[in-house]
Structure 1
């Protein structure tokens, strides 16, 4: 054991607890994550040059936003920002509002020249000095470093164990002093204990350092739950394959008895329809974890693989529904004696994917789907016409509210040129030109029924995004 490390004391160490935290308000699933009235209202995507509303960039998926937050910070540190303020061009990063689980973009540097003022009350240095550095000196932090060294020492898979060593980076030319450093089966590992707020830029810098140097950064918590999680905890959790690790007196005692490093592992599992479950917990030995220095992840449950498998299952179910519904519509099943029963079955199947169909078959907008299926199949579908251009004229004359989506489908499916060649030469081009003039004068009659957009999106994913 390293000199100066105090051995584990059951009675006194078991009484050590992290500071009490107030409950943290969590985002409501499915609700927008951006502030309602942010200072920076639009940002420029530096890859595409497009200017996007912040509500679109941040979306409603908290998991994705936490991963985007890390990516934005990482790239900004490399002087290659993902987003810039649309007004002034300064690089921006994602911050959480102080009093609510909403997010906004803040300038990397602010000199007052931009109309959007995003400067916070505390600078990054002040936050680090007041919270992070203070926690570094707490008794619990010191004891956790001792505990960790003792747990690693009894596990023969670890060697070169050291507390707060200087890690020199020959590739980066930088240095770090992790709480504990060890070599596990030839892999250098830096263990950092997370007790208080660590700024995202610090987390991103450390991840980048150890990634470039061929090591692995593993964060350890004294506690981890849903109610009291802070933004710092989420920054680590959502960028570590939704896994977190806790070391406390119980795991230390179990490790010393088993002579292997044991951790309390916390993870989430993906659920159908998006999002993830509540937290699962299990004490697991370190040697059962999967370690990935390239992504800087250590995990017990492979959330990303499970998510991809679940998404594939859901997509397979959606495709089966698409095929069944198209076949039913094509066979004009909606006219048969079993139509009402079959319609009820389809309503239940669509409902599984959060798509509401009308209660009664007679309320269903069948002409909309027949024109879209016609574009998809390059022939009049479910009607007595001979050519696709005839469908186009029908839509133009009596279903103008379908025209925008129909022509979008014609272009997406590559039917535009073949449709022009059908029928009387130049007749459709002339008619379409007249419709464009009408649209410029009054676009209202051409506006699709937006309440049908979820159904169309499910049945025709290849047409997304819909105009």
Structure 2
């Protein structure tokens, strides 16, 4: 990524303009990368890293076809596409050769493996674990290798805590994501729990951003970040139990509280969280919608309450209830396509459900959105059956609701992640 000054502002000139995702063969432009939600950016960041560690390519340059990844620019924090080392220098979008992981580490500590603070924190963590009655006697080990047939790692601290193997890795410097992912995969394979821990964490300002390495472990821990400081160490020593400070993002910025190690929740990945992230409105709505939905559809009065809430979210609280007729059936049809099994219906499978749904004339106007949604969910097999094709042809002959209609707005509001793929497809079509 190159930069220029215009009217007193630094503006990006994106050298590597687009890449190809080899899993989907979709093109992702620099502009699309910049516009991604942080959650979606993390998916790309980790997918590129994992492919690199497996000696494969996931994302490749749209010009030279060489593997790329998506770091953040140091001054702005904006993600951009960058070639991995070894890319052909005659590529018109060539972005230069980045430093390797080992070289970055050497420069951080003038040749040492870790900072003096890192060493001190490991010692304190080991001390506090030994004081905690949930730690198995003589199980605390500091800075010694765990060896497997496929490799070895030297955890900062490990112990048997609450009857389960636990590794604590101290995160202070800008550890690169390949190291983070490699360690997580290694401990996952050993069935060790892993706690990334930093020291005296100071949240960025409301509009600021985390260092990329902190952001990476923040996502590892279900959008929690764990830290220790003078107060947590003192309290841990007083009560004989490991106390941490957990940070998470709330509506008004960063929040924090003290939490005991014994109180943490553990994900199937082996990483911990203390505070579950607040789901997006649409995710919470669909959870409540599913809870109100049985084999015979979505029941009153819950259905009426939820549809009124949906209308309010569309900034249209004055929508007449008649305008929402069949909306509940449409939502259940889309949920069925998402799940791969009927939702709110006694039908036996998706083909039966589509035939029933598309066989009612007032629902003909939904045919185009249902077909597109099915394609995005990978339900082409159900769409291609003769009976469904017949129903689709009949329904598509009628006027269809478009994205600006009430139906379109409802579907885009409830399933933004699914229809984000539609936007990318549209961009690709216009560029081809």
Shared topology, TM-score over 0.5? yes
Q: Distance in 2 between matches of 1:311 and 1:456?
A: 14
Q: Distance in 2 between matches of 1:409 and 1:297?
A: 33
Q: Distance in 2 between matches of 1:460 and 1:149?
A: 47
Give the conservation status (yes or no) of the 8 Å contact 1:378–1:415: no
SS at match of 2:69: strand
Match of 1:267 in 2: 248
Match of 1:93 in 2: 69
Q: Distance in 2 between matches of 1:319 and 1:162?
A: 46
Match of 1:226 in 2: 203
SS at match of 1:182: strand
Give the conservation status (yes or no) of the 8 Å contact 2:126–2:140: yes
Report how many residues are paired. Answer: 361
Larger radius of gyration: 1
Match of 1:108 in 2: 84
Match of 1:311 in 2: 283
Give the conservation status (yes or no) of the 8 Å contact 1:69–1:94: yes
Q: Distance in 2 between matches of 1:281 and 1:378?
A: 53
Q: Distance in 2 between matches of 1:93 and 1:163?
A: 34
SS at match of 2:165: strand
State the 1:39 CA deviation.
Answer: 2.6
Tell me the alpha carbon deviations over residues 371-405 of structure 1, each in whole angstroms, 9 at most, x when there is no partner: x9xx97546549xxxxx7xx9xxxxxxxxxx9987
Match of 1:417 in 2: 390
Q: Distance in 2 between matches of 1:180 and 1:460?
A: 44
Match of 1:164 in 2: 143
Of 247, 264, 267, which aligns to 1:289?
264
Match of 2:217 in 1: 236
State the 1:458 CA deviation.
Answer: 4.3
Match of 1:178 in 2: 155
Give the conservation status (yes or no) of the 8 Å contact 1:266–1:280: yes
- Pick closer, same or farther for the CA change 1:457–1:148 going to 2, 3 Å: same
Mark the runs of 5 or more structure 2 residues left unpaired by the alignment.
1-10, 293-297, 300-304, 331-355, 376-382, 427-432
1:299 aligns with 2:299: no
Give the conservation status (yes or no) of the 8 Å contact 2:61–2:83: yes
Match of 1:29 in 2: none
State the 1:235 CA deviation.
Answer: 0.8
State the 1:249 CA deviation.
Answer: 1.6
Give the conservation status (yes or no) of the 8 Å contact 2:109–2:115: no
Give the conservation status (yes or no) of the 8 Å contact 2:171–2:196: yes
Tell me the alpha carbon deviations over residues 185-230 of structure 1, each in whole angstroms, 9 at most, x when there is no partner: 4433222211221111111111122222332332111133431731
- Pick closer, same or farther for the CA change 1:185–1:47 going to 2, 3 Å: same
- Pick closer, same or farther for the CA change 1:309–1:160 going to 2, 3 Å: farther
Q: Distance in 2 between matches of 1:410 and 1:310?
A: 19
Q: Distance in 2 between matches of 1:175 and 1:311?
A: 40
| 1:395-434 pair list within 5 angstroms | 417=390
Cα RMSD over matched residues? Answer: 4.9
The alignment's TM-score, normalised by the length of structure 2, stands at 0.66
Q: Distance in 2 between matches of 1:64 and 1:230?
A: 17
Give the conservation status (yes or no) of the 8 Å contact 2:30–2:80: yes
Q: Distance in 1 between matches of 2:153 and 2:40?
A: 29
Q: Distance in 2 between matches of 1:403 and 1:261?
A: 57
Tell me the alpha carbon deviations over residues 293-326 of structure 1, each in whole angstroms, 9 at most, x when there is no partner: x5141122233xx639971435656999xx99xx
1:213 aligns with 2:190: yes
Match of 1:142 in 2: 119
Match of 1:44 in 2: 20
SS at match of 2:75: coil
- Pick closer, same or farther for the CA change 1:307–1:201 going to 2, 3 Å: same
Give the conservation status (yes or no) of the 8 Å contact 1:189–1:216: yes
SS at match of 2:232: helix
State the 1:457 CA deviation.
Answer: 3.4
Of 233, 256, 276, which aligns to 1:252?
233
Of 163, 174, 197, which aligns to 1:197?
174
Give the conservation status (yes or no) of the 8 Å contact 1:265–1:300: yes
Give the conservation status (yes or no) of the 8 Å contact 2:64–2:91: yes
Of 64, 70, 81, which aligns to 2:40?
64
Q: Distance in 1 between matches of 2:362 and 2:234?
A: 71
SS at match of 1:98: coil
Give the conservation status (yes or no) of the 8 Å contact 1:262–1:285: yes
Of 399, 407, 411, which aligns to 1:457?
411
Give the conservation status (yes or no) of the 8 Å contact 2:146–2:155: no
State the 1:347 CA deviation.
Answer: 12
Q: Distance in 2 between matches of 1:347 and 1:308?
A: 17
Q: Distance in 1 between matches of 2:284 and 2:306?
A: 21
- Pick closer, same or farther for the CA change 1:214–1:87 going to 2, 3 Å: same
SS at match of 2:170: strand
Q: Distance in 2 between matches of 1:71 and 1:408?
A: 26
- Pick closer, same or farther for the CA change 1:133–1:73 going to 2, 3 Å: farther
